Amino acid sequence: MSTTVIILAAGKGTRMRSQLPKVLQPLAGKPLLGHVIQTAKQLQAQRIITIFGHGGSTVQETFKQEKIEWVEQAEQLGTGHAVQMTLPVLPHDGFSLILYGDVPLVTSETLEKLLEASQNTGIGMITLNVVNTTGYGRIVRKNQKVQAIVEHKDASEEQRQITEINTGIYCVENRKLHEWLPKLSNANSQGEYYLTDIVAMAVADGLEIASIQPALDFEVEGINDRIQLASLERAFQQQQAFNLMRNGVAFADPARFDLRGSVTTGQDVYIDINVILEGHCEIGSNVEIGAGCILKDARIASNTKIQPYSVIDHAIVGEKVIIGPFARLRPGTELADEVHIGNFVEVKNSRLEKGVKANHFTYLGDSEVGATSNIGAGTITCNYDGVNKHKTIIGESAFIGSNSSLVAPLSIGKGATIGAGSVITRDVPENTLAFERSQQIEKANYQRPQKTK
């Protein structure tokens, strides 16, 4: 069976009070529409048809790398009208899932259930039972079968007691869409073409309408303003934290955690408050992540401790490593086992072998540091000449004194020692002491400058 995903993404989103189209507003670090497209890809849909309108060029540019068929809805004449725009490119065979760019979190598992339920009937929908039904269309049933969708404003007092509502998400056989969509009418107070009318057409044709409910209520929540967006963000993040806890992760407070991507974890991982994980992260067992840390596309091996307010970006970290606090690992960094990276140390595009220590106020860029070497406080690799980057190679068991400047390209041999305060511009052989200082000048009875009165 071929599956088409139709995504309605033409709305302006006036209530967002933003120049950014609503479907590009971020949730968990990704545009709302991006979540829906990702879900469509997880379903292995043969075709993804996205209906655009307001801010269309920006929306298309954002997803230019995706395999999407774009259809324009120049006039906003209702949900039925939006789906009508797909008819020239909509296949006649298979089924279509009708989704929304501002309903970002419906899962592939829920949609697979909907696809399966719709196979024998030709049409299915997702409904939801809620406490506060104000403003929602009610699902009217007879003998437990869906008979109609009645909008809140049109519902009788008895119908308003119904707690089952319409989510607007449908699965419909394509040949039926080609039959029903041209028959939609805008003879209503809004002058719009409503997609809900296909339910009445299905009932009139004697079809039974399949229905399922999502595993989680927030899967079918739509976004109209920033308050709803913030509420959905927190609900989603809390659910992600719960999923991680089921896999053995402990949180200081699951309400203060953000996962903006994906993560795999070992057992007994501890995450303190206000930690953000971005991209795809891999975290081993017995890892501690301190408060305020940010990890992006990071690989952290087991038994490592990341102390508060450290940033790890596209870096690989070995076992039994200590990082931070206030450390920064930039892209291309690789730390072997038992490395110590201390407070206000920055490492970029460098490989540090086992047991290296750089505990204070240091910058290591474009460098290789041999095992058990010690990098003194205030040391920097001067890797940039204003045009090109150059490499610094430090051998095993080297000792770099505090406040040294290592001017690349440079090689410091195994077991070499660099005196504190040196500017090293030439290669240093193995087991050699190298230092560079100007003459120390002393003036007796020196009088400090005084403030002018």
137 is in an annotated binding site: yes
Q: Distance between CA atoms of 128 and 168, rounded to whole angstroms?
A: 10
Q: Is 178 known to be catalytic?
A: no
378 annotated as belonging to a binding site for a ligand: no
Q: What is the pLDDT of residue 295?
A: 98
Cα 419 to Cα 438: distance, rounded to the nearest angstrom: 13
CATH of the domain at 266: 2.160.10.10
232 and 210 fall within a common domain = no
DSSP 55-113: BHHHHHHHTTTS--EEEE--S---HHHHHHTTTTT--SSSEEEEEETT-TT--HHHHHH
Choose the catalytic residue: 54, 152, 314, 360.
360
Domain extent for 89 = 3-220
Residues 263 and 409 in one domain: yes
262 and 139 within one domain: no
Question: For the chain, how long is the longest CA-to-CA vector?
Answer: 107
Residue 450 in any domain: the answer is no
Burial of 252 (C-beta count, 10 Å sphere; 0-12/13-18/19+): middle
Q: How many CB atoms lie within 10 A of CB 228?
A: 15
pLDDT of residue 187: 84
Task: Tell me, yes or no, whether 452 lies in a domain.
Answer: no
> Is residue 439 domain-resident?
no
Question: Is residue 198 assigned to a domain?
Answer: yes
Mapped onto helix, strand or coil, the DSSP state of residue 226 is: helix
- The reply to whether 73 sits in an annotated binding site is yes
- Does residue 189 share a domain with residue 251? no
Is the domain of 314 the same as that of 257?
yes
Same domain, 104 and 59: yes
Q: Tell me which of 220, 237, 262 is where a domain ends.
A: 220
Q: Quick one: 280 and 422 in the same domain? A: yes
CATH number of 180's domain: 3.90.550.10
Regarding whether 251 and 144 lie in a shared domain, the answer is no
Nearest to 117 by CA among 165, 162, 190, 173: 173
Rounded Cα gap, residues 130 and 338, in angstroms: 53
Count other Cβ atoms within 10 Å, centred on residue 159. Answer: 16
pLDDT of residue 393: 98
pLDDT tens, residue order, the chain (453 aa): 799 999 999 988 899 999 999 999 999 999 999 999 999 999 999 999 999 998 889 999 999 999 999 999 988 899 999 999 999 999 999 999 999 999 999 999 999 999 999 998 999 999 999 999 988 999 999 999 999 998 888 889 999 999 999 999 999 999 999 999 999 998 877 888 999 999 999 999 999 999 999 999 999 999 999 999 999 999 999 999 999 999 999 999 999 999 999 999 999 999 999 999 999 999 999 999 999 999 999 999 999 999 999 999 999 999 999 999 999 999 999 999 999 999 999 999 999 999 999 999 999 999 999 999 999 999 999 999 989 999 999 999 999 999 999 999 999 999 999 999 999 999 999 999 999 988 777 788 878 778 887
Task: Judge if pTM exceeds 0.85.
Answer: yes
The annotation status of 195 as a binding-site residue, yes or no, is no
Domain-located, residue 445: no
